[in-house]
Amino acid sequence: MKKYYISFLIFYIKKNLTFIDAYCLLMKRNLVLILLLNVISSSFSQNTIGIPDIVNYPKSIYNAGTSNWDIAQDKNGIVYFANNEGLLSFDGTYWRLYPLPNKTNVRSLEITDDGKIYVGGQDELGFFSAGKAGTLVYTSLKNLIPVSDRSFTDVWEVISFKNEIFFRSVSAG
């Protein structure tokens, strides 16, 4: 700080300026220096070439529930979301919603090698597969569960392991 103060006094005396004029000139010089350093340092900032853009889509764009519980991508690049209003898909351009028959949340999903999309929801589990027109068709697996065990809460996880599918629910309903 002393060195700066001394250089300021020398500048003040050599230029034969008033104190305020000398101070303003020095501040302008410092401001130009700071701006120049800022421009130079920004040229060394992170290179974003090759990094994909992050796009946030509001609910008004994808027209489904506000919460997405799980996410997976298939072999064709279509992204699927376990959404509050059903299974939500996005192909990079269009959003499509596939509700469950009981119109409840989809909490979890798993895409298998054969292209089936297994989902778990509130008191519902099953899978979506491509129909004749290319749209997804839902098949419930709840009827395969014994009647005494068919009442359950949210299915929070779907796991594919060695060609078998496991659905996990925290507790019975």
Calpha distance 162→115 (Å, rounded):
15
The CA–CA distances, whole Å, from 68 to 58, 81, 82, 146, 150 equal 12, 6, 5, 30, 25
Q: 159 forms bridges with which residues in the sheet?
A: 166
Q: Is pLDDT above 60 for 173? A: no
Residue 142, Cβ neighbours under 10 Å: how many?
14
The model's pLDDT over 10-49, given as tens digits with 9 standing for 90+, comes to: 554 555 556 666 666 666 777 777 777 777 766 666 667 7
Kindly state the percentage of the chain with pLDDT values over 70: 77
Q: Which tokens is 110 given?
A: 């798993």
Residue extents of the structural domains in the chain: 2-43, 59-169
For the chain, the helix, strand and coil percentages under 3-state DSSP, each to the nearest 5: 30, 35, 35
The model's pLDDT over 77-114, given as tens digits with 9 standing for 90+, comes to: 999 999 999 999 999 999 999 999 999 999 999 999 99
Whole-number pLDDT of residue 8: 47
The CATH number of the domain covering residues in 59-169: 2.120.10.30
Residue type present at position 108: S
Q: What is the pTM of this model?
A: 0.69
